Amino acid sequence: MAEYKCTICGYVYDTEKGESRRDVAAGTAWEDVADDFRCPLCGAVKNMFKAL
């Protein structure tokens, strides 16, 4: 399990859960998430996330 936290709002992307609001399937590694991914809470771009 890996988690990545939005440095703007604190939302955490969990690779085991994915993100249904952004059409990211459960089990999707962060590296495989599209480069245009945006935080579902604040809209921050992918490079604003840091590994936990």
Burial of residue 13 (number of CB atoms within 10 Å: 0-12, 13-18, 19+): buried
pTM, two decimals, is 0.92
pLDDT in tens, 4-41: 999 999 999 999 999 999 999 999 999 999 999 999 99
What's the confidence (pLDDT) of residue 15?
A: 97
What's the confidence (pLDDT) of residue 17?
A: 97
Distance separating alpha carbons of residues 52 and 36, to the nearest angstrom: 21
Q: Domains of the chain (ranges plus CATH)?
A: 3-51 (2.20.28.10)
What's the confidence (pLDDT) of residue 1?
A: 81
